[in-house]
Amino acid sequence: MTTGVRRRLGVEERRQQLIGVALELFSRRSPDEVSIDEIASAAGISRPLVYHYFPGKLSLYEAALKRASDDLAARFVEPHEGPLGARLLRVMRRFFDFVDEHGPGFSALMRGGPAVGSSTTNALIDSVRQAAYVQILSHLGVTDPPARLELVVRSWISLAESTALIWLDGRRIPRAELEVQLVHDFAALTAVSAAQDAEMAALLRRIAQEEPADGPFATLAGRLLALAT
């Protein structure tokens, strides 16, 4: 039960509350459309008190982006169990969970929002991409990736970003279909690279050997063979 008595928050508690409130508002509307007055009202404090904890909207926005980027990076963490295709599909589902829950906030994170071009925002976006890159390499069992593999993984991460941003603009394709399509895209990018490079071909064969007949990679291979015949 609540007693109706408002508890005074400590400095860090209040900062975290404001970040949470701002992130929630930014998740529903573009950060450009959210005012400090709205954030203060949602937090139950005065506008001057917001400025006591954050010099301005930009610093609060960057703090909210930091929390969002940490959350998004964590979506790529997946136990190393089972075939790669199934693992990537679980990652894509969590990734789209985030995109679905934080539509405007995700767009702002990827596009920079009010802080577009700032070193802080660029560093946050790069940290998410790097975290995803490291996770994918770990699932492939590679610590020192050759140039073609780095190109495949980083290209796929960029594709996932752009696919999510396009999907948010109208959501015209069912989300579940896009999740599977992105896993297929990873296999396709790897296959194209494998056709050019023996090292990538060996990696593709290893992945294929571990893939069950009903896995997403095997499903793609079957559909492509059907198209060819």
pLDDT string in tens for the chain (229-residue length): 333 334 567 788 989 999 999 888 887 887 788 899 999 999 999 999 999 999 988 888 888 888 888 999 999 999 999 999 999 999 999 999 999 988 887 887 776 555 555 677 788 889 999 999 999 999 999 999 999 999 999 999 999 999 999 999 899 999 999 999 999 999 999 999 999 999 999 999 999 999 999 999 989 988 888 998 7
Q: Residue 145 has what pLDDT?
A: 95
pLDDT of residue 110: 77
Chain position carrying tokens 């075939």 = 83
* 221 CA to centre of own chain: 27
Token pair 């989300």: residue: 175
pLDDT of residue 33: 84
pTM of the model: 0.85
What would the DSSP string read from start to end of 21-85?
HHHHHHHHS-GGG--HHHHHHHHTS-HHHHHHHSSSHHHHHHHHHHHHHHHHHHTT---S-S-HH
| Of 61, 88, 91, 100, residue with least CA distance to 73 | 91
Domains, the chain, in order of start with CATH, read: 65-228 (1.10.357.10)
Burial of residue 190, with CB atoms counted within 10 A of its CB: 0-12 exposed, 13-18 middle, 19 or more buried: buried
Instruction: Choose among 127, 194, 119, 132: nearest CA to 159.
Output: 132
pLDDT of residue 202: 95
Amino acid 118: pLDDT: 67
The count of C-alpha atoms lying within 13 angstroms of the C-alpha of 138, restricted to the half-sphere facing its C-beta, is 13
